[in-house]
C-alpha cells in the first residue's frame, strides 16, 4: 500500500479495517448477524487495544475480518454476543500467536480456535483459552525448541488433552471434596 505524503498511516489502516469489516455483512447476514457502524468501530478499537496489549503490530485490516467470517456460523454466537465474542477471540488470537512463538499460521490458528470453540468448549471462551494456551501453544513451543520427546506428536491431541484438563477443572461434580474425612467407624468419646 502506498501512503500519500502527509497522510497518517494509522488513519489509513483504520479505514481499511473498517471497510473490510463492512464487506463481511453480506456473508454473515446468512447466519442472522449484521455489523453496525458502531460494531465495526468497536472491533477496530478492540483490534488496536489487543495489538497494544500483546505488543504486536499488524499491517492491513488485520485478523478481525477472518475471525468474523469464521465464527459467524457458530451455533454459540448470536447478534447480542457476536461483537463481544469476536473482541475476546481477537485478544486470545494475539496471545496464542505470542505464546506459540509464531509457529502457527493465522489460518491454522483460526481453524483450531473454531474447532475447539464449537466442539470442545461449547462456546465457553475461558475454556477455549485454557485449551489453546495449555495445549496447542505449548506443543508448538516445545516442538520449535527442538524437544520432540516433550511435545505431543499431534497438536490436536495436545489441545484436546488440555481441553479435557480444563473440563475437569470447571466441572464441579468432578472435584473431590477433601474437607470431610470418611465416616468414623470406631468409638467416640461421646460413647463413654
Could you report the per-residue pLDDT of 97-130, keeping only the tens digit for each?
888 777 788 999 999 999 999 998 999 999 999 8
Contacts of 52 (CB under 8 A, 6+ apart): none
**C-alpha–C-alpha distance, residues 51 and 87, integer Å:** 12
State the pLDDT at residue 8.
66
Are the C-beta atoms of residues 110 and 67 closer than 8 Å to each other? yes
State the pLDDT at residue 156.
55
State the pLDDT at residue 172.
46
The secondary structure of residue 136, as a DSSP letter, is: I
Which residue reads 455489523 in cell numbers?
35
What average pLDDT values come out for the chain (192 residues) when binned by 10 residues? 60 84 94 95 91 83 90 95 96 88 86 92 91 72 61 54 57 48 59 58
State the pLDDT at residue 2.
54
State the pLDDT at residue 151.
47
Amino acid at each position: 500500500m502506498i501512503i500519500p505524503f502527509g497522510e497518517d498511516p494509522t488513519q489509513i489502516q483504520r479505514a481499511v479495517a473498517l471497510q473490510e469489516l463492512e464487506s463481511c455483512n453480506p456473508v454473515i447476514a446468512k447466519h442472522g448477524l449484521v455489523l453496525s457502524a458502531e460494531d465495526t468501530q468497536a472491533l477496530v478499537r478492540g483490534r488496536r487495544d489487543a495489538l497494544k496489549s500483546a505488543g504486536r503490530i499488524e499491517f492491513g485490516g488485520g485478523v478481525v475480518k477472518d475471525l468474523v467470517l469464521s465464527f459467524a456460523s457458530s451455533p454459540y454466537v448470536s447478534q447480542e454476543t457476536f461483537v463481544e465474542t469476536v473482541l475476546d477471540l481477537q485478544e486470545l488470537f494475539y496471545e496464542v500467536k505470542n505464546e506459540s512463538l509464531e509457529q502457527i499460521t493465522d489460518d491454522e490458528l483460526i481453524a483450531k480456535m473454531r474447532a475447539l470453540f464449537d466442539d470442545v468448549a461449547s462456546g465457553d471462551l475461558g475454556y477455549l483459552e485454557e485449551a489453546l494456551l495449555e495445549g496447542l501453544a505449548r506443543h508448538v513451543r516445545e516442538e520449535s525448541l527442538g524437544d520432540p520427546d516433550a511435545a505431543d506428536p499431534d497438536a490436536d491431541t495436545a489441545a484436546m488433552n488440555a481441553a479435557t484438563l480444563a473440563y475437569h477443572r470447571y466441572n464441579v461434580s468432578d472435584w473431590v471434596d477433601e474437607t470431610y474425612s470418611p465416616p468414623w467407624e470406631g468409638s467416640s468419646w461421646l460413647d463413654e
